[in-house]
Amino acid sequence: QWIYLNGDFVTKEDAKVSVFDHGFLYGDGIFEGIRIYDGNIFRCKEHLDRLYDSAKSIMLDIPLTYQEMQDALVETVRRNELRDGYIRLVVSRGPGNLGLDPQRCPKAWVIIIAEQLAIYPEEAYRNGLVSISVSPRRNIPDALNPKIKSLNYLNNILVKIQANLAGVGEAIMLNAQGYVAEGSSDNIFIVKKGVVYTPPCWVGALEGITRGAIIELCGKLGYPLREEPFTLHDVYTADEVFFTGTAAEVIAVREVDGRTIGAGKAGPITTHLLEEFRKIVTVDGVQ
Ligand code: PLP
């Protein structure tokens, strides 16, 4: 496995980061998770747009141009001879001193890791996941806009810990007002009477690339789509619930907090959206 580290390709054993790196000391940095489908880097541009927007928002200078970054992604995939897999792109503030001042970090570090991906088994897409709502809240309002895909993932990790304790694959996070925000690393959608709903990002959700693709597909396929806040009551009483994310794609939910959703398996609109999503993943991106 070859890891891209600041312009060089090094082995996994040599891919090391300083203990003074502010990504490590303070979670000061940003990242992207990107899929490769049959050699195609899916929605590469959208991921890079989000990365560079996150960087701008936290005043982090990425030492690569957009084109150089894209070339680095392509080269990492090529070197690792991957046709299908997952890319983790991390830009940290880089090594500094123990103070939190980012001015003490002269250069951001860029790391690209590409590897195989362990995803849900295919039957999970037909049967749906069991899910729960959890107590950690998306901090809104907060200085850290949920659109920034930062290295501060403790909230999401607390969600994942509760999901693990309950033995479920993904859990639902609310915001401070009690509106449904997202999962630990997925966006959430519900379907009621043929209308598809997802929370607007200001409720406290990342502007997911998969979410964006599903919103577009709803338009193409003629499913009415509304971005509006909703509560757990709306989730419990929905006809269909599903999560979207780079790793999970479009995964149905069959039960939330003990309430069976719809027929207790992947519903027709979820299934249709997954089918159509899988048609675009090999073409919509960079080869
Ligand atoms: N929400 C959070 C908090 C995430 O970390 C992710 C994963 O990247 C998502 C949603 C889904 O976004 P995307 O579809 O871009 O992977």
Distance 244 CA to ligand 1 centre (A): 8
Neighbour count for residue 163 (Cβ, 10 Å): 21
**Which one-letter amino acid corresponds to residue 229?**
P
Q: Please give the angle made by the CA atoms of 229, 233 and 234, to the nearest 5 degrees.
A: 50
The CATH number given to whatever domain includes residue 190 is 3.20.10.10
Residue nearest to atom 9 of ligand 1 (CA): 186
Q: Are residues 75 and 153 part of one domain?
A: no
Q: Are residues 153 and 74 part of one domain?
A: no
Taking the C-alpha atoms of residue 128 and residue 167, their distance in angstroms, rounded to an integer, is 14
Q: Give the number of the atom of ligand 1 that is nearest the alpha carbon of residue 209.
A: 15
Ligand 1 contacts CB of residue 33 (under 6 A): yes
Q: Which listed residue (12, 149, 192, 220) is catalytic?
A: 149
Place of tokens 């519903």: 267
Q: Are residues 242 and 200 part of one domain?
A: yes
Please state whether the peptide bond connecting residue 224 to the residue before it is cis, i.e. omega within 30 degrees of 0: no
Q: pTM value?
A: 0.96
Alpha helical stretches, state H, the chain: 22-26, 44-57, 66-79, 122-127, 154-166, 209-221, 232-236, 268-280
Q: Are residues 273 and 132 part of one domain?
A: yes
Neighbour count for residue 168 (Cβ, 10 Å): 18
Q: Which of the listed residues 80, 98, 115 is the one where a domain comes to its end?
A: 115
Q: Are residues 160 and 79 part of one domain?
A: no
3 state SS of 73: helix
Q: Are residues 188 and 236 part of one domain?
A: yes
* Residues 6 or more apart in contact with residue 9 via CB below 8 angstroms: 2, 3, 75, 76, 79
Q: Which of the listed residues 115, 130, 160 is the one where a domain comes to its end?
A: 115
Q: How confident is the model at residue 135 (pLDDT cuts 50, 70, 90)?
A: confident
Mean pLDDT of the 50-58 span? 97
Taking the C-alpha atoms of residue 35 and residue 247, their distance in angstroms, rounded to an integer, is 7
Q: Please write the tens of the pLDDT for every residue from 195-245.
A: 999 999 999 999 999 999 999 999 999 999 999 999 999 999 999 999 999
Ligand 1 contacts CB of residue 206 (under 6 A): yes
Q: Are residues 252 and 150 part of one domain?
A: yes
Q: Are residues 263 and 180 part of one domain?
A: yes
Taking the C-alpha atoms of residue 221 and residue 73, their distance in angstroms, rounded to an integer, is 32
Q: Are residues 263 and 128 part of one domain?
A: yes
Share of the chain above pLDDT 70, in %: 99
Q: How confident is the model at residue 146 (pLDDT cuts 50, 70, 90)?
A: confident
The CATH number given to whatever domain includes residue 109 is 3.30.470.10
Q: How confident is the model at residue 111 (pLDDT cuts 50, 70, 90)?
A: very high
Q: How confident is the model at residue 141 (pLDDT cuts 50, 70, 90)?
A: low
Q: Are residues 152 and 207 part of one domain?
A: yes
Alpha carbon distances (Å) from 188 to 134, 183, 213, 287 = 14, 7, 13, 29
pLDDT(50) > 70: yes
Q: How confident is the model at residue 136 (pLDDT cuts 50, 70, 90)?
A: confident
Domain count, the chain: 2
Q: Are residues 101 and 212 part of one domain?
A: no
Residue nearest to atom 2 of ligand 1 (CA): 185
Strand partners of residue 198: 227
149 is catalytic: yes
- Nearest CA to 257 among 175, 155, 135? 135
Distance 209 CA to ligand 1 centre (A): 7
Q: Please report the pLDDT score of residue 161 as a whole number.
A: 96
Average pLDDT, the chain: 96
Q: Are residues 182 and 281 part of one domain?
A: yes
Q: Please report the pLDDT score of residue 21 as a whole number.
A: 98
Q: Which of the listed residues 115, 145, 162 is the one where a domain comes to its end?
A: 115
Q: Please report the pLDDT score of residue 287 as a whole number.
A: 84
User: For residue 101, what are the domain limits?
Assistant: 2-115
Its ipTM equals 0.99
